[in-house]
């Protein structure tokens, strides 16, 4: 299984690519692999591009968790619109696809262990 890194620069850092162009190509390809080369919105496999779920023009990051596969039609029609608002108004809307996009953009993370963990200490009078 291939590892999906968060940015093209991560592919350079981990020496999986030797040029910025190759790193960007790998990054894009891995996102498409993770979405099985299907549009996250309508399920089409035709003319697949990548779409920023939260548009960059509205402050969306340029990271893997903000980018999904989208056919050219969905990508163009969604444009700068918030994805949930746009998606719910489409004839192909489905709760399953919406949940998959939500899970992709907001993965559940295990809680971090703190370097300092509170201990149950008994402070009894020691005499």
Same domain, 43 and 30: no
Same domain, 80 and 52: yes
Identify whether 121 is part of a domain. Answer: no
CA 100 to chain centre: 10
Domain that holds residue 16: 1-34
- Residue 3: exposure state from Cβ atoms within 10 A (0-12, 13-18, ≥19): exposed
Q: Do residues 48 and 67 make contact, with C-beta atoms less than 8 angstroms apart?
A: no
Same domain, 1 and 50: no
Q: Give the per-residue pLDDT at 18.
A: 64
Identify whether 122 is part of a domain. Answer: no
41 or 123, which is more confident? 41
Q: Give the per-residue pLDDT at 6.
A: 65
Same domain, 68 and 53: yes
The number of domains in the chain is: 2
Identify whether 125 is part of a domain. Answer: no
pLDDT tens per residue across span 44-97: 999 999 999 999 888 988 888 999 999 999 999 999 998 999 999 999 999 999
Same domain, 25 and 43: no
pLDDT tens per residue across span 10-29: 555 555 656 777 878 888 88
Q: Which of 7-11, 17-21, 105-109 is the least confident region?
A: 7-11
Same domain, 46 and 85: yes
Q: Write down the pTM of the prediction.
A: 0.74
Same domain, 42 and 30: no
Same domain, 48 and 85: yes
Backbone CA torsion sign across 59, 64, 68, 72: positive
Identify whether 115 is part of a domain. Answer: no
């Amino acid at each position: 299984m291939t590892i999906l890194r968060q940015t093209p620069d991560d592919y350079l850092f981990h020496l999986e690519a030797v040029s910025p162009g190759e790193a960007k190509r790998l990054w894009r390809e891995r996102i498409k692999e993770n979405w099985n080369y299907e549009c996250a919105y309508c399920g089409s496999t035709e003319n697949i591009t990548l779409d920023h779920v939260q548009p960059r023009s509205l402050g969306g990051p340029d990271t893997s968790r903000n980018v999904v596969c989208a056919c050219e039609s969905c990508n163009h029609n969604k444009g700068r619109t918030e994805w949930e608002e746009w998606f719910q108004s489409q004839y192909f809307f489905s709760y399953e696809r919406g949940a998959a996009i939500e899970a992709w953009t907001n993965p559940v993370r295990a809680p971090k262990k703190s370097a300092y963990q509170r201990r149950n200490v008994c402070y009894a009078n020691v005499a």
